[in-house]
Structure 1
Amino acid sequence: MKIILRILLLLLGVNAGLLYLHYSQSAAANGAKDHPDTYRQEIEVINRADGLYIRHHFYDLATGRYEIIWPEGSVEQECLTEGSVSCSRLNEAGIAFDEGEGDQQSIAYKIPKKESLKDRKLFKRPFVLLQDAKPLTTVFHMTDEQNIGGMWVNGLERVGKADKERISYRLYRGVGFVNELYWQPQDVPIAYSGNKLSVYGEGIKEKQIKEMESILEEIGGDHVSVVLSPLNKTLYAQRFVVEKPMNMDQVVKQVARMSVQSRFMIPANEPSMNSMLASILGDQAIGTKAEQGAFNRLKESLDEKKYSAFRQKVRGRIGQELSAAQLDEELQNVMNFDSQYFQKTMHEQQYSYPFLLLDSRNVLLDGEEIKDLKAVVQDEKSFYPADELLTRMGYQITSNDQSIYIESPKRNYRFSRIEPFYVMNDRKYDYQEEPYKYISGKLYFDEVWLRRIFLVLIEKSDESIAIEQIEQLIKEMEKE
């Protein structure tokens, strides 16, 4: 019997190993990757009357299979040069680069136009993407065979230009990828060009340029282009801004948000995270008035040392997924208390939610744990929710505009909501520091006052907070 059991265990182990091997091979075959592949690319765009003619070159490709995501509406999708090794991995269906050794591949396609460009035009997602891969760098050639003038913007730094009798040419390059191309009939002169920022316009203040440059350097985002002209209509793209000079304050904030978007993977249902992260990393309030208020409340609630440590935690998450819940975890690592601040403000969009921390220890009343009850820490003081705690102690709580009533068979309390006093069993007590406060519309009592008024002992350990009613302790002692 023992021999049979050993054989069965051995077979189970072998089967488990085979299943794991099959799964891992299947995942690889389906393109599942822990980290996206990277490559370099070069894009040549030729503007003609009937469309944009694009030659797209990929360099430093790995040997694995790459699914090709063609731009919606693109036509004439083909190998750049038939029979050439430059597209030896392009399969017959034209939907992927198959596995192979050729690390350079080149394709061609066309984005049709219904008419020649006259008014401004934004081409959205006009370029090929490779599934589960991203470009490290992009070199971009823009050739206008119609010579229509105006200016082309894509978010990359413009590093060269040439204008001839019947043709104009612009050269761009930079880190990352752009998948938007914009043209406007008005050509705006360049005012500033750097690794992180290009500004087109006239009369731009140096202070504003330095502010945007500083934010981009601090966050470490991709290059951003800003086009400023009194004739402009507002346009915010992934890596460029088209705006009027009078709206520079908004431009600076938008540049910060765009920089964050290029550095973090943020959930689509938490759009305000862009402004919050830009505010934290740039150390200045960015976004709407409500979003700025949420950041200011955070900064005012942390001392300089902890605020600096938290910013370092956030900076360490650059290039990763980051949600409001994960931001709360990073805050917890700094403060040593639980937090829901970012989930409340950024995810649930309760922008006026107060900054408070949750004591992670379990709360026990007379030896029995009260589930889902957590002490709140605010301004280094502990507060306990009245509804969950006092009702368990035998009190009933009611209130109106003037008073809060907390009543039990033995003791009755009335707390004035207008003047600094409370009444216990018909005896009035004045106070200077308020014993309770409302947090997000919920009644909480200060720990010190909880001991004094409601006659309890509170003992804390690393694992729990033990609250015991003195009267209950006396009863237990009398039994003994």
Structure 2
Amino acid sequence: MKFAFGLFAVLTGIIGGTLFFQYQTYSADLAAGNHAYYYAQEIETSFSNDELHVKHHFKGLPNQRMDIILPTHAKDVACLVEDTASCTRVDETMTYLTMGEATTQSISYTVPIAGGLAENKLLQNMFVQLKNGEVSYSILHMATDKVMAGNWITGLPFVGEQKLSMITNTMFSGDGDVRDLYWSVQPITLQQKEQHYSIYANEKPSADFLSEVVEVMGDTHIAIVKDPKFVTANTQEFLFLEALDVTTIENQILLTRLKQKYDFSKGEPWLVDVVATLALEREVGGKKAQDVLQTLYEEMTPEQVNEFKKRVLATEGKAITTQYLDSILREIFTMPTTYFEQNAATETGVFPLLFGDDREIYVNDYVKNDVNLVMKDGKVYYTADTLLPHLGYTAGEGNKGYYVNSAKSAYRFPRLPGFYVHNQTRHEVKSEPIIKIGDSYFIEEGWLQRIFHVEIDKNTGRIQMKVNLE
């Protein structure tokens, strides 16, 4: 037991010296003019009563105000008084650190864990962040009741484990931040530990796998964990795998790097696969992204495809959204389109590349922003679900087609081509008045005028519709 305590003391001393050197170096490298800064941290945690209790020490702090960003469900936030200066810069509101000469400050807080640790869990954004700050080095201590058979894993390199009579202490440390924690109910073995990655699995990786994985790893340490439950998790500190497969790791690392380079927070999840496919020039990710890109490429020249790729990949730091990608297509084709936006709203199949009209659409002198116009096969179509109610009708899909009703008229446009029904009278047609594109219905402009007696006047600024109900 004395040896165990001695070993941990030596490890803590060595890492503490490294920590001191790291934060002294980084604190001297403050970014000019934007109040960015580096700091180091040491975090002590213990788990009891379905809660994570945290003692958080910030080190190497600059002499400036720093806002405290708490975990979403944090409670019992308080000063942690360990010496006369350990809490002198923490404002009484616990929302920021004031300017001051003290370079180390400490707080404590508790984060509830819903459902406890009865099953494997990925706990994200568990620790306090300092706004505009970048963590240069982290030390993390995890204390867990010995009766719990599982173990903690973090994105930091594993240092050691100390089993005492009542608790198990686990220690991690390394460059960079730590935000996420992974709990495995069943003990999981650290199979390989290298400078930029650690592999956790209950099976030994093959020699071929170990030789190849080195080639695809980045510069920051990451934990590779075999657990299929979290393979789709959005985290920069872990790679969760169903199997120890190099291609999967390569793809996931690429996606992680792309999420660091581009802002996908406001876009559809499959847009990450779109950008990854453009970057690697091979298929990456799910079927949705590949089908959308393939349909788009079929309507573009090779020069337009290259221009699209170039413009998308040059948008580093910008938010990647369906609207933004559509704006790039608009510039390339010099015509408005909502191709990506429409495909985001389409649950089955792929919405084709169609072009629209920038003019506002008015119905009886009132602008209707929910009505869209598209051009297909030389004809003009309007969104039926949104336009027809403005004309005084109810409209929607039914058992035998698309139904449009008013007080005096009932229309049915069947799925079979060649006719429609008005007040139980069949009318033969050579072209379809209403068509379905993707998951949406559209009414053709000529038929809109003939069937529903809509007068349409187009000028430079607007498309004006007027109607008199029968």
Q: TM-score, normalised by structure 1?
A: 0.56
Q: CA deviation at 1:227?
A: 0.7
Equivalent residue runs for 1:24-39 within 5 Å: 37=36, 39=38
Q: CA deviation at 1:356?
A: 1.8
The corresponding residue for 1:133 is: 132
Among 347, 355, 358, the residue aligned to 2:355? 358
Amino acid at match of 2:55: I
- Root mean square deviation, CA, Å: 5.1
* Paired residue secondary structure (2:92): coil
Q: Deviations over 1:275-296 (max 9, x none)?
A: 3333333444444433432233
Amino acid at match of 1:129: Q
Q: Supply the distance in 2 between the matched residues of 1:95 and 1:361 (Cα, whole angstroms).
A: 47
Equivalent residue runs for 1:98-177 within 5 Å: 98=98, 100-102=99-101, 104-111=103-110, 120-130=120-130, 132-135=131-134, 137-144=136-143, 151-156=151-156, 158=157, 161-163=159-161, 166=164, 169-175=170-176
Does the 8 Å CA contact 1:65/1:97 hold for their aligned counterparts? yes
Q: Indicate the percent of aligned positions where both proteins have the same amino acid.
A: 13
The corresponding residue for 2:276 is: 278
Q: Supply the distance in 2 between the matched residues of 1:373 and 1:70 (Cα, whole angstroms).
A: 42
Amino acid at match of 1:340: T
Amino acid at match of 1:152: W
The corresponding residue for 1:290 is: 288
User: How many aligned residue pairs are there?
Assistant: 354
Q: Supply the distance in 2 between the matched residues of 1:319 and 1:190 (Cα, whole angstroms).
A: 36
Q: Deviations over 1:394-416 (max 9, x none)?
A: xxxx99845489xxxxxxx9758
Q: Deviations over 1:94-141 (max 9, x none)?
A: 33212x1448342132547899978645444321133x5353545233
The corresponding residue for 1:188 is: 189
Q: CA deviation at 1:42?
A: 1.9
Among 377, 380, 384, the residue aligned to 2:378? 384
Q: Supply the distance in 2 between the matched residues of 1:374 and 1:164 (Cα, whole angstroms).
A: 67
Amino acid at match of 2:323: A
Q: Supply the distance in 2 between the matched residues of 1:344 and 1:208 (Cα, whole angstroms).
A: 43
Amino acid at match of 2:89: R
Q: Supply the distance in 2 between the matched residues of 1:224 and 1:330 (Cα, whole angstroms).
A: 35
Equivalent residue runs for 1:35-46 within 5 Å: 37=36, 39-46=38-45
Q: CA deviation at 1:345?
A: 1.6
Does the 8 Å CA contact 1:224/1:255 hold for their aligned counterparts? no
Does the 8 Å CA contact 2:119/2:185 hold for their aligned counterparts? yes
Q: Supply the distance in 1 between the matched residues of 2:135 and 2:258 (Cα, whole angstroms).
A: 17
* Structure 2 stretches lacking a partner, 5+ long: 1-32, 360-367, 383-412, 421-427, 446-459, 462-470
Larger Rg over CA atoms: 1
Provide closer, same or farther for how the CA distance between residues 234 and 247 of structure 1 changes in structure 2, counting only shifts above 3 A: farther
Q: Supply the distance in 1 between the matched residues of 2:117 and 2:380 (Cα, whole angstroms).
A: 67
* Paired residue secondary structure (1:338): coil
Amino acid at match of 1:41: A
Q: CA deviation at 1:336?
A: 3.8
Provide closer, same or farther for how the CA distance between residues 184 and 64 of structure 1 changes in structure 2, counting only shifts above 3 A: same
Amino acid at match of 1:352: G
Does the 8 Å CA contact 1:279/1:285 hold for their aligned counterparts? yes
Q: CA deviation at 1:244?
A: 3.4
Amino acid at match of 1:135: E
* Paired residue secondary structure (1:142): strand
Amino acid at match of 1:203: P
* Paired residue secondary structure (1:245): coil
Q: CA deviation at 1:193?
A: 4.5
Q: Supply the distance in 2 between the matched residues of 1:255 and 1:183 (Cα, whole angstroms).
A: 22
Among 242, 245, 252, the residue aligned to 2:243? 245
Q: CA deviation at 1:55?
A: 2.7
Amino acid at match of 2:319: E
Q: CA deviation at 1:340?
A: 1.3
The corresponding residue for 2:57 is: 56
Amino acid at match of 1:265: D
Equivalent residue runs for 1:315-334 within 5 Å: 315-334=313-332
The corresponding residue for 2:339 is: 341
Q: Supply the distance in 1 between the matched residues of 2:226 and 2:330 (Cα, whole angstroms).
A: 42
Does the 8 Å CA contact 1:54/1:109 hold for their aligned counterparts? yes
Q: Supply the distance in 2 between the matched residues of 1:350 and 1:36 (Cα, whole angstroms).
A: 45
Q: CA deviation at 1:328?
A: 1.5
Q: CA deviation at 1:329?
A: 1.6
Q: Supply the distance in 2 between the matched residues of 1:119 and 1:400 (Cα, whole angstroms).
A: 49
The corresponding residue for 1:81 is: 82
Q: CA deviation at 1:299?
A: 4.5
Q: TM-score, normalised by structure 2?
A: 0.57
Q: CA deviation at 1:322?
A: 2.7
The corresponding residue for 1:203 is: 205
Does the 8 Å CA contact 2:205/2:244 hold for their aligned counterparts? no
Equivalent residue runs for 1:219-230 within 5 Å: 224-228=222-226
Q: Supply the distance in 2 between the matched residues of 1:36 and 1:139 (Cα, whole angstroms).
A: 21
* Paired residue secondary structure (1:358): coil
Q: Supply the distance in 1 between the matched residues of 2:258 and 2:322 (Cα, whole angstroms).
A: 14
* Paired residue secondary structure (2:378): strand
Equivalent residue runs for 1:440-459 within 5 Å: 440=438
Provide closer, same or farther for how the CA distance between residues 89 and 311 of structure 1 changes in structure 2, counting only shifts above 3 A: farther
* Paired residue secondary structure (2:39): strand
Amino acid at match of 2:44: V
Does the 8 Å CA contact 2:336/2:358 hold for their aligned counterparts? no
